[in-house]
Amino acid sequence: MNYEYMFGAYSVAWVVIFGYMFIIGKKHSKLQKEIEFLKQLEK
């Protein structure tokens, strides 16, 4: 059986998943800062 291909496929999948999580985390952080800014304007 070709375990090299399976390992490669799983490696690519994990890199994509972690990359997606990193991007979502950055967007979440940016939105959180905007929310805090808007709350300050409200006061």
pLDDT (tens, 9 = 90+) of the chain, 43 residues, equals 789 999 999 999 999 999 999 999 999 999 999 999 999 998 7
Residue 19 has what pLDDT? 98
CA 40 to chain centre: 27
The C-alpha R_g of the chain, in whole angstroms, comes to 19
Structure tokens of 24? 């979502």
Please give the Cα distance from 35 to 26 (Å, whole number). 14
Residues near 5 by beta carbon (within 8 Å), at least 6 away in sequence: none
Tokens 């375990």 belong to which residue?
Answer: 3
